[in-house]
Amino acid sequence: MITTSDIEHISWLAHVRLTDSELEEYSEKMNPILEYFSTLDEVEEDVDAAHHVLDLYNVWRDDVPSEMLSQKEALSNAKEIKDGHFKAARIL
């Protein structure tokens, strides 16, 4: 079980200041998480690797040339066009 002093030590290591109420809150929230990890410790580890139920594999199509869209067709559903190109919002 994690205590408020453990949380206080962790916050000190992380250079994060916590109030007394936050220390209490985080210790209460951390305990269920740690309990979950303790149940994971009980899982058997010497089990064969799992296999898929279905025999799935990658299906590739042949890379053959085909007719391509004209510029007008390619831009037909574009929200905005500028000088014959797709126009997008700046991201930087």
Examine residue 70 and state whether it is found in any structural domain, yes or no: no
Residues 26-75: tens digit of each pLDDT: 999 999 998 898 888 888 888 777 766 677 778 888 999 999 999 999 99
Examine residue 72 and state whether it is found in any structural domain, yes or no: no
Q: What is the CATH number of the domain that holds 18?
A: 1.10.20
Helix (H, G, I), strand (E, B) or coil at 86: strand
| Residue 26: domain span | 4-41
Examine residue 26 and state whether it is found in any structural domain, yes or no: yes
Examine residue 31 and state whether it is found in any structural domain, yes or no: yes
For residue 88, the model assigns a pLDDT of 93
Q: Which parts of 1-92 fold into alpha helices (H)?
A: 4-13, 20-41, 71-74
Examine residue 10 and state whether it is found in any structural domain, yes or no: yes
The number of distinct structural domains making up the chain is 1
For residue 48, the model assigns a pLDDT of 75
Examine residue 34 and state whether it is found in any structural domain, yes or no: yes
Examine residue 21 and state whether it is found in any structural domain, yes or no: yes
pTM: 0.44
